[in-house]
Amino acid sequence: MKKLLVVLLSLGLIVGLGTAVSAADLQMKGEYNMFGAYDNNGDIAGGYSRAAMWQQTRFNPTVKVADGLSFTFRFDALEKDWGDTSWKTNGLTTIDETSSRRENATNNQKTQENLEFERSHVNFNTGIGQFVLGYQGAGTWGTAFGDYAITRPRAKWQMPFGPITMIAIWEKNIEWDNRNLNPTGKVDADTDSYYLAGVYKQGKMEAGLLYGYTLGNTTRLAATPFKIKLQTLQPYMKATFGPVYVEAELDYYFGKAREYEQPTTAVPDVDKQGWGGYVNAKLNMGPAYVGAAVGYMSGDDGSDVSKDKSGSSYKDWKPAWILQNNDMPDPLPGHWANDGGAGTTSKREQMTTYNVYAGYKVTPKLEVSTSITMAKSSVKFKGGMYVGSSAGFAPGTAGVEYISDNLGTEWDVTAEYKVFDNLTYTVGAGYLWTGDFFKNTNAAQKVDNDYTILHKLNLEF
């Protein structure tokens, strides 16, 4: 009954807002997603198979208060695996897992108690540009490569100057001073990010450049205090040349992965020297298309303790159904059980991926496509090596080199059918010829191939 009252009160708030400003001033957008998958070999060692269904309901209304002034908010409801009575679900989860409660809640909470207001921001235009203030979308820039869509509190300003739009952002990542997480109260333990960017758009050409600076002070509370001072330069381009569409992005990371407040020869500072690159070219031929893409994130083999050469974590580029697909975590729970951690939490921070694809629109409503994806590690991992953590770069012992850098080759087929203009049903299948990377340092480790069968229903309104 309590859950029902919460839902009714939330819907009442929306109706109330619409009544106050008139129906013409309330724009309701949202989507409903259902996702189901069968995974034949979740641990790639012939251990087990599994299947699950997942759903999400998302509302994203915008209230127009006056010309040039609006308020936007977003909340999710019933974001859960079907039949899962815990909060932190252990199934095949998730599409766009941005919920802070979902990621941080304890296991004894119920998944159905998850009506969550995640974003709220005011947008207003002035003579010196547009301002967006509040909890809003973050983590995206240029192409999908290198992106990690999340929600963060930020202040954003943008203003067009002819074909160029200038952008400035201040982002609050972590605030510890007001959450009693800094017991000493004697040091600044916040983490903030600052961005300056410019985007050029003219005809069928788009290009941009972003500079970012993140100052991480939460690690000043560590036993050996240090700061994280990371910088990035990210140029990108998108262009159409007749039937050919091309997009590309370069991500360069530099600065200090660790800057100790009292550096010593035994504990030296750690410089950041990572980069990534991505190119995708697509040829459109009437109802058919073919294309190829390659993505690279540098890695670190731990040989130089004074440098962090790893790239960035990302989730939004999904070239395959199994390999690097965040709709089914990384790639599926258990798939990484035999890689010994590989010194990274996302497995995308130091990967090289090749993808070729083709598709055909059979009817205006039905499109079929297929792709082949190959992935390998960008460096030779070594068992026992630990090269990354939320607290910064921390190399450990080198250990024994991995058997192989090959993650495997995957073949996918997909069919999308538009039941209505706003309702799309997708079915897909993927087969992964698993690479010996998953044997870790043990040549006798059993590694089997895997396949998945899945379907998705997406309603947009």
Distance set, CA 228 to CA 189, 190, 239, 308 (Å): 11, 11, 36, 12
- Match 């140029």 to its residue by tokens: 235
Pick from 278, 272, 236, 277: nearest CA to 253: 272
Q: In angstroms, what CA-CA distances link 22 with 14, 16, 184?
A: 12, 10, 51
Question: What is the DSSP secondary structure assignment for residue 6, as one 8-state letter?
Answer: H
DSSP code string of 286-300: TTEEEEEEEEEE---
Closest C-alpha among 419, 313, 368 to residue 34:
419
Q: Name every residue whose Cβ is closer than 8 Å to that of residue 404 and which is 6 or more positions away in sequence.
A: 435, 436, 437, 439
Phi/psi region, residue 76 (left: phi>0; alpha: psi -120 to 50; beta: rest), is beta
Cβ atoms of 234 and 278 closer than 8 Å: no
Terminal Cα distance for the chain, rounded: 28
Residue 30 DSSP code: E
Of the candidates 72, 194, 197, which has an alpha carbon nearest to the alpha carbon of residue 123? 72
Under 8 Å between Cβ of 75 and 101 = no
Contact 227, 362 (CB under 8 A): no
**Confidence (pTM):** 0.83
376, 405 Cβ separation under 8 angstroms: yes
Distance CA 31, CA 41 (A): 31
Written as one letter, the residue type at 182 is: N
Question: What pLDDT is stored for residue 80 in this prediction?
Answer: 79
Length of the chain: 461
- Tokens representing 167 are 């952008």
Residue 13 to residue 19: CA distance in whole angstroms: 10
454 burial (CB, 10 Å; 0-12 / 13-18 / 19+) is buried
Name which of 169, 177, 266, 154 is nearest 212 in CA terms.
169
Q: Compute the C-alpha angle 245/249/250, nearest 5°.
A: 155
Q: Which DSSP string do the residues of 329-353 spell out, in sequence order? A: SSSSTTTTTTTTTTT-SSS-TTEEE
25-460 CATH pick, 2.40.160.100, 3.40.30.120, 3.40.605.10, 3.40.1710.10: 2.40.160.100
Q: Greatest CA separation found in the chain?
A: 69
Tens of pLDDT along the chain (461 residues) come to 444 444 444 545 444 444 444 545 999 999 999 999 898 876 677 667 888 888 889 999 999 999 999 999 999 988 877 876 665 444 444 444 444 444 444 444 454 456 788 899 999 999 999 999 999 999 999 999 999 899 999 999 999 999 999 999 999 998 876 655 555 555 678 899 999 999 999 999 999 999 999 999 888 877 788 999 999 999 999 999 999 999 999 999 999 999 998 866 667 889 999 999 999 999 999 999 999 999 999 988 777 778 888 888 778 898 999 887 766 643 333 344 334 343 333 345 678 999 999 999 999 999 999 999 999 988 776 654 444 443 333 444 455 677 888 889 999 999 999 999 999 999 999 999 988 887 777 788 888 898 999 999 999 99
